[in-house]
């Protein structure tokens, strides 16, 4: 069984890479959807003279805009984390704790493939 520079089995890293790439596709699709939804909200209110802030019938347009914006920002951060993990795989540092330099257990990477720290360092933060 061959290993990566960080000591992780290459087949495990390959599986994690595939999972990260699938997650990346999902996040990009989610981000695209949120961006489209945000634009729909903006477009639907352009030129409207409504006072939705005092409408007892439902959520306000500002709330909807804020909610979609927050979801899009979360997706952007998720995309950054996935891309950073893929970059660490490419440069051979994937699976090494960025704080203490020790290996990140495979079990942690399987649960959280974007992890940058080992369990001990994550708990200390």
Question: Vertex 77, ends 4 and 100: CA angle to 5°?
Answer: 45
Q: Does 48 score more than 60 pLDDT?
A: no
Instruction: Confirm if 83 and 21 have CB atoms less than 8 A apart.
Output: no
Note the pLDDT tens digit of each residue in 55-110. Answer: 555 556 677 778 888 888 999 999 999 999 999 999 999 999 999 999 999 999 99
Distance of alpha carbon 113 from alpha carbon 20, whole angstroms: 7
Task: Determine if residue 92 is left, alpha or beta; phi over 0 gives left, psi from -120 to 50 gives alpha, anything else beta.
Answer: left
What pLDDT is attached to residue 58? 52
pLDDT of residue 92: 92
Fold of 10-124: 1.20.120
Q: Give the integer Cα–Cα distance in Å for 13 and 3.
A: 9
Burial of 67 (0-12, 13-18, 19+ CB in 10 A): middle
Give the span between the Cα atoms of 121 and 99, in whole angstroms.
7
As separate numbers, helices (DSSP H) first and strands (DSSP E) second, the chain gives 4, 0
């Amino acid at each position: 069984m061959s290993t990566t520079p960080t000591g992780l089995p290459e087949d495990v890293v390959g599986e994690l890479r595939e999972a990260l790439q699938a997650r990346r596709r999902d996040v990009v699709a989610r981000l695209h959807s949120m961006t489209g939804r945000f634009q729909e909200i903006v477009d639907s209110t352009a030129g409207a003279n409504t006072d939705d802030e005092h409408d007892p019938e439902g959520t306000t347009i500002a709330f909807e805009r804020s909610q979609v914006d927050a979801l899009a920002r979360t997706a952007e951060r998720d995309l950054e984390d996935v891309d950073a993990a893929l970059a660490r795989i490419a440069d051979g540092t994937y699976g090494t704790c960025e704080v203490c330099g020790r290996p990140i257990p495979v079990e942690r990477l399987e649960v959280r493939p974007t992890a940058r720290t080992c369990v001990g360092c994550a708990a200390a933060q």
